[in-house]
Amino acid sequence: MFHVVFHEPCIPPNTGNAIRMVACTGATLHLVEPLGFELSDAHLRRAGLDYHDLARVVVHPDLDAALASIGPARVYAFTGHGGTGFADVAYAPGDVLLFGTEPTGLPADVLADPRVTARVRIPMLPGARSMNLSNCAAIATYEAWRQQGFAGGV
């Protein structure tokens, strides 16, 4: 399926929500350190509820390690500065959906990484600064999965 990568996430409930989302979609969640919380954090457990056993979650020391573990793949970096709309991408199984930390998004060096296939944006109304990280990950993952006919879903 798809690989959802959170680069240095800071807010436990967002990661907990993402754990629940990947459990429901068959995606894998990759967390790139440093994390702004402990994986045992009560907020993380509460948001993920009982889905932790159903989800594939992998923690990596850095982005290089995360992308190396995934192997060759197209990497879509989600940013408010992206030129391509998320629904305009033709996703394929194995694609990487890369999201930045909650307060600042993806850093410039990650956005400039030659492994990034495209910078992708989710539209918002003017004046809005950003959307919630776990909501963005869910929007993108469900669009990618929809394009695959919700393969394996019921």
Binding residues for S-adenosyl-L-methionine, by number, are 100, 122, 130
Do 43 and 19 touch, CB atoms closer than 8 A? no
Q: What is the DSSP string of 133-152?
A: HHHHHHHHHHHHHHHTTTTT
Q: What's the sign of the alpha-carbon dihedral 144, 136, 74, 126?
A: positive
Crossing angle for the helix pair 12-25 and 133-147, nearest 10 degrees? 10
Q: Residue ranges for the binding site?
A: 100, 122, 130
